Amino acid sequence: MYLFGASGHAKVIIEILEKLGVKVIGLFDDNPHIKQLLDYPVYGPYDPANPIADTLIISIGNNTYRKKISELYSFRYGMAIHPSAMISSRAIIGNGTVIMGNAIINSGAQLGNHVIINTAASVDHDCRIGDFVHISPNATLCGGVSVGEGTIIGAAAILIPGVNVGKWATVGAGSVVIRDVPDNATVVGNPGKIIKIDGKSF
């Protein structure tokens, strides 16, 4: 397994892969000054003229950058699921997705490609999580929640059953979302209040 991105997020993924017994061959990163991460070699920028045969995970926490890299290069993507995570056999998990320690993915949940489910986050039954979403530590998504592409759900946020959150939205840490959230909106507070849409503040 290779990783793309030699950041703090990559450190967590490396340790998940180590626990799973998956060999980490090395990492790519656009910063040529980074030579090593957790004793693994960093090869510098990826050269598509020398394609790799092994699987790869985009190990960058920023949702926009994960999408850009997936569009720039063609890789065979793997997954990293911490052994302490509780994953329903009836859940669907997309390529390139990372699920961290003590996370819970319940029956009928569907996770897209290149999703991050961070430490101790809970995704309940029948949730729909779009590509490039990041569910931060200790966030709780109740049953039937939908989250659109590229959205970030902040740490310890709570989304009540059936709420729909649009694409490329931001739900602030600790927010309680009780109403649908449109695309490109920022929501904070308890109950959650929209404070920005498409860069326009309210």
Instruction: Write down the domain spans for the chain.
Output: 2-72, 80-187
pLDDT, mean of residues 134-144: 98
Residue matched to tokens 């961070």: 118
Supply the residues annotated as catalytic: 125
Percentage, residues of the chain above pLDDT 90: 95
28 pLDDT tier (thresholds 50, 70, 90): very high
Q: Would you call 34 exposed, middle or buried from its count of C-beta atoms within 10 A (0-12, 13-18, 19+)?
A: middle
pLDDT of residue 92: 98
Closest CA to 89 of 73, 108, 104: 108
pLDDT, mean of residues 50-60: 94
pLDDT at 202 over 80: no
pLDDT of residue 115: 98
**E strand intervals along 15-163:** 26-28, 36-37, 40-41, 56-58, 80-81, 86-87, 92-93, 98-99, 104-105, 110-111, 116-117, 122-123, 128-129, 134-135, 140-141, 146-147, 152-153, 158-159
pLDDT at 201 over 90: no
Q: How far apart are CA 44 and CA 101, in angstroms?
A: 29
**Domain spanning 2-72 has what CATH number?**
3.40.50.20
What is the phi/psi pair of residue 13, to 5°? -65, -40
pLDDT, mean of residues 47-76: 94
For residue range 103-133, list pLDDT tens digits in order.
999 999 999 999 999 999 999 999 999 999 9
Q: How far is CA 19 from CA 6, 54, 109, in A?
A: 19, 19, 25
pLDDT of residue 98: 98
Residue 94, classed as helix, strand or coil, is coil
pLDDT, mean of residues 2-10: 96
What pTM, to 2 d.p., does this model score?
A: 0.95
For residue range 149-198, list pLDDT tens digits in order.
999 999 999 999 999 999 999 999 999 999 999 999 999 999 999 999 98
Tokens of 176: 């309680």
Name which CATH class applies to 80-187: mainly beta
pLDDT of residue 200: 83
Percentage, residues of the chain above pLDDT 70: 100
Tokens of 40: 């693994």
pLDDT at 61 over 90: yes
